[in-house]
Amino acid sequence: MTGPAEQTAVETEKAIEKPVIVSLKNLTLSFGGITALKDVSVDIRANEILAIIGPNGAGKTCLLNCLNGFYKPQKGQILFEGKNITRIRPDRAAQMGLARTFQNIELFSGLTTLENAMAARHVFMKQNLLTGGIYFGPAHVEEIRHRRIVEDIIDFLEIEAVRHHVVATLPYGMRKRIELARALALEPKVLLLDEPMAGMNTEEKEDIARFIVDIFEGQGETYPDTPVLRDGVRAIVLIEHDMGVVMDLADRIVVLDFGRKIAEGTPEEIRNNPQVISAYLGESATR
Ligand SMILES: Nc1ncnc2c1ncn2[C@@H]1O[C@H](COP(=O)(O)OP(=O)(O)OP(=O)(O)O)[C@@H](O)[C@H]1O
């Protein structure tokens, strides 16, 4: 039995719960006989880093792929700031403020760091080739503005030294960082990160963790003219296998197993959840 005092405490906590930005409702996604997601509901709240964890093949990447329009779930609904975006195209999702990185880096490998980041800005460019050709002035001004934003992002992620290097020639950890630059160049409201530290050593992971926190909090003093760096993003969704990183960074954690959500809670709750320990944490601890 809960007494009036406890009830009031619970109600107060609910009242100050962070507002939902994205709501995934009862998503089901199948490929032929494989059910990748089964009736999964997840809310992404303002001002939170939400980690998605679970064993290999649990459906984590599929969840992100539904979120940004790469996959269309057979059942369920995705609401972004109240709008139904369940069948949205990926480029439209990016324009609306959902940007992501990929587990297996998806950059233009023949282009440089700078060119990759500038390519992301094309979703915002008002000038097309024709008007750009006729009215050189406005197109040029717009190009300069985009370039400034991209240069700030390159500075922030400490990749100036490779800004003119062709991506294919760079080491893996650096390419992961450039992917983050490209996602930031989309000025997301919600940043979706699919294993941003996979394959990195401890030092590289620490760098990325620091960038994630800085992106989340905003760096107004250093980058007053680049809104995404100045104000930070509203929420981050992070798929990550390194439990140390997850427990340190996440405000909340969602656990998937065989396409189903088996738990959701604070790092403390998840760490002590017997079902999560048997499905995932036990296994990762022995790896
Ligand atoms: N395009 C596809 N076609 C067929 N099956 C797919 C496709 N994409 C994902 N799957 C299957 O859906 C299931 C969930 O895959 P998903 O990539 O989301 O897992 P995950 O939790 O991200 O795993 P990991 O930690 O290994 O990256 C797996 O069985 C996978 O093989």
Question: Which residue out of 62, 65, 255 has the highest number of ligand 1 atoms within 8 Å of its CB and is therefore the one to mutate?
Answer: 62
Nearest-atom index, ligand 1, CA of 103 = 27
Nearest-atom index, ligand 1, CA of 55 = 25
The neighbouring-strand residues paired with 83 are 80
CA dist 81 to 20, 57, 74, Å? 8, 29, 22
Q: Does domain 18-97+234-287 sit in CATH 3.30.910.20?
A: no
- Indicate the pLDDT class of residue 6, thresholds 50, 70 and 90: low
Per-residue model confidence (pLDDT) at position 203? 92
Q: Do residues 83 and 271 make contact, with C-beta atoms less than 8 angstroms apart?
A: no
Average pLDDT over residues 224-239: 95
Ligand 1 geometric centre to CA of 9 (Å): 41
- Indicate the pLDDT class of residue 1, thresholds 50, 70 and 90: very low
Q: Do residues 232 and 239 make contact, with C-beta atoms less than 8 angstroms apart?
A: no
Ligand 1 geometric centre to CA of 245 (Å): 22
Query: Rounded to two decimals, what is the model's pTM?
Result: 0.87
**Could you tell me the residue ranges of all domains in the chain?**
18-97+234-287
Nearest-atom index, ligand 1, CA of 62 = 18
Ligand 1 geometric centre to CA of 139 (Å): 42
Tokens of 69: 């329009």
Ligand 1 geometric centre to CA of 34 (Å): 9
Average pLDDT over residues 59-86: 96
Ligand 1 geometric centre to CA of 161 (Å): 36
- What is the ipTM metric for this complex? 0.96
In percent, how much of the chain has pLDDT > 90?
72
Question: Which residue out of 27, 34, 238, 241 has the highest number of ligand 1 atoms within 8 Å of its CB and is therefore the one to mutate?
Answer: 34
Residue nearest to atom 25 of ligand 1 (CA): 56
- 85-99, 100-114, 146-160, 263-277: the lowest-pLDDT one: 100-114
- The residue written with tokens 């003093």 in the block is 221
- How far apart CA 84 and CA 88 sit, in angstroms, is 8
Residue nearest to atom 7 of ligand 1 (CA): 31
Residue range 136-158, pLDDT digits in tens? 555 677 778 889 999 999 999 99
Ligand 1 site, CB within 6 A:
31, 34, 36, 54, 56-62, 103
pLDDT beyond 70 at 129: no
DSSP track, 242-280: -HHHHHHH-SEEEEEETTEEEEEE-HHHHHT-HHHIIII
Q: Do residues 69 and 88 make contact, with C-beta atoms less than 8 angstroms apart?
A: yes
- How far apart CA 78 and CA 76 sit, in angstroms, is 7
Q: Do residues 46 and 18 make contact, with C-beta atoms less than 8 angstroms apart?
A: yes
